[in-house]
Amino acid sequence: MKPKRILYAVQGTGNGHVARARQIIPLLQQMAEVDVWLGGTQSEVALPFEPKFKALGFVMYYDKTGGVSLWGTLRKNKYSQIVRDIFSAPVNQYDLVINDFEFITAWACKLRGVKCMSLSHQAAYRYKESPRPAFKNLFGEFVLRWYAPTKTAIGFHFERYHKTIYPPVIRDEIRQLIPENGKHVTVYLPAFHHDKLLPLFKPFDIVNFEVFSKYATANQRVGNVAIKPINNEAFMKSFATAYGVICGAGFETPAEALFLGKRLLVVPIGKQYEQYCNAAALTKLGEGVFVVNHLDNSSINVIGAWLNSKAPKPVHYPDFIQELLQTLVNEIPS
């Protein structure tokens, strides 16, 4: 029997998509012939293998104050290359395209009538049951629906708000950690320069903060703040033994913190509507989980209250992904 061919297209801007792909792709390769398309280049997490296809795609650019740079995004994207990539993507050579919020392949499939399924966190927002912030943003809703459009979709979220929304995909390397309640706070806010964070952590001089910064080139310490370059092994060690975790209001890192039972403080990236949606969901999860929408002097009191909060109980996220992938592969016509 001829093996089924799958193109797995993953958004490479943002670490969560790539982290999830590291877990999913090896499982999928046991079930079918799988080629990988990587769209975007801004992830600090690397795939453990070379993707067959790479494209820059449509990229969101950020400034050093933690927000999306609309001008930078409009100015820096290469629109003629985007069009060429859409019309040259070999999506019609596959039995199924699985898309994790990847722009080029989603539009290539849509324009050519090729079967494409969303398998992403963003797909969860197709359903009104997924929490939204008080200020529902129509442009943000448009982006979530039409950035990577597909006819069918399976979403991942913190809770099962709909029958086609599944729990987060927790990587094996997270499941294998032995969590401890240490004496430091792990900080991962890649949209912020670490210099912007120092004044916020300095008042809490009895607490150590380990800040992983994409702007750092070497380890350094400023008072109670250790600044470290992005390194997966060092981050995993810090993450496992952290007293608490401060990170963006993305999806994978908060989900992993919840899984390990860590105090969690999230900061949505400015002008990124999806992160405000995630924050709205996180506020419903109870003690030990805080949201701060702006990092400035007014945030110091919130950080203090969070440090004194009770740690949440670990959230049980079952290991379901292999069974789900097998179901999807079995549904591909022979």
Question: pLDDT per residue over 197-215, tens digit each?
Answer: 999 999 999 999 999 999 9
Is the CB of residue 234 less than 8 Å from the CB of residue 215? no
Give CATH for domain 5-170+318-330: 3.40.50
Residue 74 has pLDDT above 90, yes or no: no
Least confident of 1-10, 57-66, 83-92, 126-135: 57-66
Q: Confidence class of residue 2 from pLDDT cuts 50, 70 and 90?
A: confident
Please state the φ and ψ torsions of residue 17, each to the nearest 5 degrees: -60, -45
Residues 6 or more apart whose Cβ sits within 8 Å of residue 282: 158, 249, 254, 264, 266, 289, 291
- Which tokens hold the place of 69? 């740079």
Residue 177, SS3 per DSSP: coil
Q: State the pLDDT confidence band at 43, using cuts at 50, 70 and 90.
A: low
Say if 5-170+318-330 and 172-307 have the same CATH topology: yes
Rg (CA), the chain: 20
Please write the tens of the pLDDT for every residue from 218-256: 999 999 999 999 998 999 999 999 999 999 999 999 999
Given a cut of 60, whether residue 65 has pLDDT beyond it is: no
**Which residues have a Cβ under 8 Å from the Cβ of 59 and sit 6 or more positions away?**
13, 40, 41, 42, 73, 76, 77
Average pLDDT, the chain: 92
- Does residue 273 register a pLDDT over 90? yes
Cα–Cα distance measured from residue 37 to residue 51, given in angstroms and rounded to the nearest whole number: 6
Q: Which of 6-15, 19-28, 196-205, 257-266 has the lowest mean pLDDT?
A: 6-15
Per domain, the residue ranges of the chain are 5-170+318-330, 172-307
pLDDT tens digits along 276-325: 999 999 999 888 999 998 888 889 999 999 999 999 999 999 999 999 99
Question: Is 222 strand, coil or helix?
Answer: strand
Q: What average pLDDT does range 129-143 have in this prediction? A: 92
CATH domain 172-307 topology: Rossmann fold (3.40.50)
Q: Cα separation of 238 and 212, whole Å?
A: 10
Hey, CA dihedral for 149, 155, 158, 163, is it positive or negative?
A: positive
